Structure 1
């Protein structure tokens, strides 16, 4: 996944997540600069990883330390490719009335100002294609008692992620964040030891019934820093087991006896080819997704309402891949298609709900209920029926991926029905994650921005949309490629995403991170290749 010979800095490298980051990046062939406080053993840690890696003692809250660190980077390497801002002070669980200003400021200094200084110095040395990944927290998204400074610092780090992504996109530097839920780290173990966290209760609150492993956070960061995430910037990926998707009184998962095995170590690979159904798989994004899973060794069912297109795409992929006809707006057609999958393969491991139609540009005063219903039948109800039928054929470990949109978060006028359908897709993902996470099934949403598909190319040719203005609205200055969505979908369906459940991943060139007036970039008038 990673480009070889990258120079990568990991801060907080001696902690649980930090050690996992060092290990996974070193295995990829990166040269890792492990950074942590004096006395943490970070120098010895780097030496154990292998030749070429180095450990440096540094307090990221001290600007002098940060500048001295980068002076050493300059002298030894002369460049930097990836920064993972992982160093942080954990929550002290101090009541508000007992929290001193010094403690509050110290937390902000380590968790917020420190990562900013690291990013600033890193960006000065980075070339186009480099990446910064900030390890934020679910605490920066959802409020919790007695975590004032910690939560505020992580919310600020998420904001920095988005604003820096927009500022540095023109330089080819991407900035993303991972928002972990509860992770089995020494920090959390200390909270449990001191009685500040009830870990069995935490497990009951997570639909997946366990805490996250450090390597699951490292794998998410690894993907976001890779070339497969080249069109992802400003995005915040929640890795929380479905915590954010559960929103009702009671427990999200039945009580668990002891510590779940999957919390202690990564299960072995399941082995064998997975059966993957891709709706709308004959062209554009669907064809790219079909190809990506086939290239990974999976068996792909190309499901499309165009029989010739489905068969043609399956023939391009070659045996054992198949093409089946389905109209997702017709329940009987969906049931029949999944019945045929059951007859041929006996199971489904992954469903990618990609089939959708775009809205017209009809003003709201001229739209009819029939127009809205027809679009919802395809984009939302159709996705639901496909998921319902696929779930009947899934075993624990199954994954449903739904294709959302930047309109999930930022609807466009007058594309009211389309925006509503994609907002519905996101919450559909979350509802199923909460309900079926305890059964060992995962769900996620991939939300594309403007992607240069044949349909988008036709819009550009027709002159119905000003794509010059659209490119200038995108911080990265250009449309994405179908392969960008395919790579994100393939990651989310992989074992590397084993704790991602109910999350949404925006693959939009920074579109949803830009909140300024005016344009986000100078734009790029050159077009990217569309999938045939």
Structure 2
């Protein structure tokens, strides 16, 4: 049983977070300003849970809170910094100094001080998890949210800085950036006529505001072993808001959709996922994990080894196709055969990709450059197109595209690969904004260096130096294919129901690092 401390626990999102962790078997320490309310709510969760009141704008209160919690219940394993002061929608000329300072005291300084105190114990024990509730407002500015948006942007960068500092101690620090959520905070803004939720819904590609339980699922995921190789990351859960950049409405939403008020019933049929590049590496790990979870797999690969891989998966009813994703006719045949067999796809995972030649740009040929783009981008687009044609009539489905850390930080001379993966991130956003109204979600995963046969071959061929690479990774180690598979399993599940258009970086902290020298502090651990 983990000890999970949650601040801002009495609000709508806070209660959803506490409830989810309690249902999962963790001990929850409920923290908010009112001690009596904290204890009363903790009692509703069960006898194992506790409530402690504290004013997080005061450092002495934070120190008392941590001391009291750890003396009574033992070390804190997971800290959720969820408490916040919401936007006041005050014009810039009307901002008061007191309100600005109070917003930063609660939204930024309090998470820092509380994290500092709890990290002392985590550092001694060699591990722990911290999740900060940021906001989409910290990424995409909006008028009259000055102090709130600035404080949330600061919290995001604080998340990354702490993740880098403590990665070698086994402490992971990540953030969740929610869009609009149906909480008392938003209801108050609507009641004061400071926000028009009908207009908000039309601005969101999914056509609705998110539910607290959907945000809680994202936080729970970040605190779970599924996110083992994620630190310094920001998980955006916004219904596609950030992905939409066109003029006019993102949806034709009218009224309050039922899915905004309560969680729809989960599907009862056996789910089916198509995975390209499934013969080995990340594709194989993903297919194997999903099969273990009861999914039916459709494995697609140009490699003849696809038959052996799929035949070794647990469960029955799996399908195998040897096909080149660059061939329009071959991919169309795959989907035509699935349709003829009455197989409905719940997820399509576009994993197939190739590396480039590592040649200096002035020596690269057009053929070599275009081959990378042809496989990594055009092949992905062909598979995605056929998946959309397959899924749209049924009104649901998830498409996962594969980006890379090179989309965020290009690696010379890997220009074709870096460009192709940047294309995937933008493609994902374009598709998400278009397809949300059809009930389809589109997300991207951006792995860092993963210990696959392909990466090992690059090392053996003298293309990369894995010791230097591990020193550049804040966590000091390459990820495993199973780490990426675990993230994909979350993203295609109902638990990620409000995530679309987002790119999830799974890189051991690589893209959070902006310093000089080695990112990993200390002696590198032995490779697994």
TM-score tier after normalising by the smaller chain length: over 0.9
> Any stretches of 5+ residues in structure 2 without a counterpart?
none
Instruction: Measure how far apart 1:460 and its partner are.
Output: 2.2
Residue in structure 1 matched with residue 430 of structure 2 by the alignment: 431
Alignment length, in residue pairs?
522
Aligned to 1:200: 198
Q: Which residue of 1 aligns with 2:75?
A: 79
- CA drift of 1:116 comes to 0.5
Scaled by the length of structure 2, the TM-score of the pair is 0.97
CA 1:92–1:432: 2 relative to 1, 3 Å: same
- The question of whether the paired residues in 1 share the 8 Å contact of 2:35 and 2:54 is answered with no
2:347 to 332, 338, 350: 350
Is 1:173 the equivalent of 2:167?
no
Displacement of 1:40 in angstroms is 7.5
Corresponding residue number in structure 2 for 1:37: 33
Kindly provide the CA deviation profile for residues 188-243 of structure 1, in whole angstroms up to 9, marking residues without a partner as x. 00000010010010000000000000000000000000011110000001000000
Who is 1:527 aligned against? Answer: 527
Q: 2:377 aligns with which of 349, 367, 380?
A: 380
Q: Which residue of 2 aligns with 1:330?
A: 327
Distance between the aligned counterparts of 1:80 and 1:42, measured in 2?
17
Match of 2:398 in 1: 399
1:134 alignment partner, one of 132, 138, 141 = 132
Secondary structure of the structure 2 residue equivalent to 1:392? helix
Looking at structure 1, the residues matched to 260 and 37 of structure 2 have their Cα atoms a distance apart, in angstroms, of 25
Q: How does 1:38-77 map to 2 (within 5 A)?
A: 38=34, 41-77=37-73
For the 8 Å contact 1:472–1:523, the answer to whether it is kept is no
2:113 aligned with 1:117: yes
CA-CA distance at 1:457 after TM superposition: 1.5
| C-alpha distance in 2 between matches for 1:40 and 1:368 | 71
State the Cα distance separating 1:273 from its structure 2 match.
1.2
Moved over 6 A (4+): none
> What secondary structure sits across from 1:270 in the alignment?
coil
Tell me the residue number matched to 2:2.
6
For 1:71, what is the secondary structure of its paired residue?
helix
- Alpha-carbon separation, structure 1, partners of 2:473 and 2:342: 42
Match among 90, 98, 102 for residue 102 of structure 1: 98
CA RMSD of aligned residues (A): 1.1
Check whether the contact 2:357–2:368 (CA below 8 A) recurs between aligned residues.
no
> Equivalent residue for 1:301?
298
Alpha-carbon separation, structure 1, partners of 2:283 and 2:455: 14
Q: Secondary structure at the match of 1:162?
A: helix
How far 1:523 sits from its partner (Å)?
A: 5.7
Q: Is the 8 A contact 1:208 1:241 kept in 2?
A: yes
Q: Which runs of 5+ in 1 are unaligned?
A: none
Q: The residue matched to 1:231 in structure 2 has which SS?
A: coil
Q: Could you say if the C-alpha distance between residues 474 and 279 of structure 1 is closer, same or farther in structure 2, counting changes exceeding 3 Å?
A: same
- Deviations 1:471-490 (CA, angstroms, capped at 9, x unpaired): 00000000000000000000
Tell me if the contact between 1:280 and 1:356 (Cα under 8 Å) persists in the aligned partners: yes
| Contact 1:468 1:525 (C-alpha < 8 Å) held by counterparts | no
Q: Is the 8 A contact 2:273 2:348 kept in 1?
A: yes
SS in 2 for 1:66: helix
Question: Taking structure 1 as the reference length, what is the TM-score of the superposition?
Answer: 0.97
Q: Distance in 2 between matches of 1:458 and 1:364?
A: 22
1:164 corresponds in structure 2 to: 162
Structure 1 residue 343, shift from structure 2 partner = 2.0
Distance in 2 between the 1:345 and 1:30 partners? 42
**Take 2:237 and 2:215, find their aligned partners in 1: how far apart are those partners?**
7
